Amino acid sequence: MKSLLHTFVIVAYKESPYLEECICSLLAQTIQSCLLLSTSTPSTFVETLARKYDIPMVINTNRDGIAVDWSFAYEAADTPYVTLAHQDDRYFPEYTEQCLNAAQSYHDNLITFTDYYEQIGTRRRHSLLIPIKRMLLWPFSFRIALKSTKMKMICLLFGNPIPCPSVMYHKETIRAFEFSNDWQFNLDWDAWLRFAQRQGHFVYVKKPLIAHRLHQDSETSRLIRNQQRAREELLMLQRLWGKRWGAILAKFYQLGAIFNPA
Would the pLDDT of 18 be above 50? yes
- Given a cut of 80, is residue 222 above it in pLDDT? no
If you write DSSP's letter for every residue of 79-92 in order, what string do you get? Answer: SSEEEEEETT-EE-
Predicted confidence (pLDDT) at residue 127 exceeds the cutoff of 80: no
Distance between CA atoms of residues 190 and 201, nearest Å: 17
Structural domain spans, the chain = 2-215, 217-262
Are 127 and 145 in contact by the 8 Å Cβ rule? The answer is no
* DSSP-derived secondary structure for 139-208: GGTT-SEE--HHHHHHHHSSS--S-GGG-EEEHHHH-S----TT-SSTHHHHHHHHHHTSSSEEEEEEEE
Using alpha carbons, list the distances in angstroms from residue 18 to 10, 25, 32, 70.
12, 11, 21, 19
Query: At 230, is the pLDDT very low, low, confident or very high (cuts 50, 70, 90)?
Result: confident
Q: What pLDDT, on the 0 to 100 scale, is given for residue 138?
A: 97
* φ, ψ for residue 173, nearest 5 deg: -95, -45
pTM of the model: 0.92
Q: Which CATH superfamily is domain 2-215 in?
A: Spore Coat Polysaccharide Biosynthesis Protein SpsA; Chain A (3.90.550.10)
Give me the phi and psi of 72, to 5 degrees please: -65, -45
Higher pLDDT, 130 or 196: 196
Single out the residue of 227, 183, 210 nearest to residue 118, CA to CA: 210
Q: Which contiguous run of DSSP H or E holds residue 159?
A: none
Query: What is the rounded average pLDDT of the residues 184-205?
Result: 97
Q: How far apart are CA 230 and CA 224, in angstroms?
A: 7
Handedness of CA 192, 196, 200, 204 (dihedral sign): positive
pLDDT at residue 28 greater than cutoff 70: yes
Which residue in 134, 74, 143, 137 sits closest to 105, CA to CA?
Answer: 143
Q: Which pLDDT does position 166 carry in this prediction?
A: 98
> pLDDT exceeding 70 applies to what percent of the chain?
90
Q: Is the pLDDT of residue 145 over 80?
A: yes
Distance, in Å, from the CA atom of 157 to the CA atom of 136, rounded to the nearest integer, reads 9
- In degrees and rounded to multiples of 5, residue 109 shows phi and psi of -60, 140
**Overall average pLDDT of the 92-102 stretch:** 98
